Amino acid sequence: MPATLTLIMGPEFAQRTKRFVFNVAFSGSYTAGGDTVDFSPFVSGNASDLPLSVCEERLGGYAASYVPGATIAAGKLKLFTTAATELSAGAYPAGLTGLTDARLVVVLPA
């Protein structure tokens, strides 16, 4: 099951960008190569505008990397147990499913 996003702040507009903050909840199983994250339900405008940056916060010792897809609906959130070791495919560990304040900060073109 993909990571579930809940919008908690945004969009905040800057000169040429808009910023969103999402709570991210992990349940079910992780897919090797990353779980699909779909920002399109939260964004009005051009769905082909890919994020300029995606940063994770409060992942309880895990790290994440956003891998852009062909559209804003097809990106992947790749999770790591250490700097170079991707989380193994299978059930999410308790260290991720137990998080209540994990966040993604997403910056998109305005």
Sign, CA torsion 68/74/75/80 = negative
Peptide bond into 68 cis (omega under 30): no
Whether residue 17 contacts residue 110, with contact meaning beta carbons closer than 8 Å, is answered with yes
Whether residue 105 contacts residue 60, with contact meaning beta carbons closer than 8 Å, is answered with no
Position 1 scores a pLDDT of: 61
d(CA 100, CA 59): 10
> pLDDT by residue for the chain (110 residues), tens digit each?
678 999 999 888 888 888 999 999 999 999 999 999 999 888 776 666 889 999 999 999 999 999 999 888 899 999 999 878 999 999 999 999 999 999 999 998 88
d(CA 106, CA 99): 19
Please report, to the nearest 10 degrees, the dihedral formed by the alpha carbons of residues 94, 78, 31, 75 taken in order: 130
pTM recorded for the entire structure: 0.89
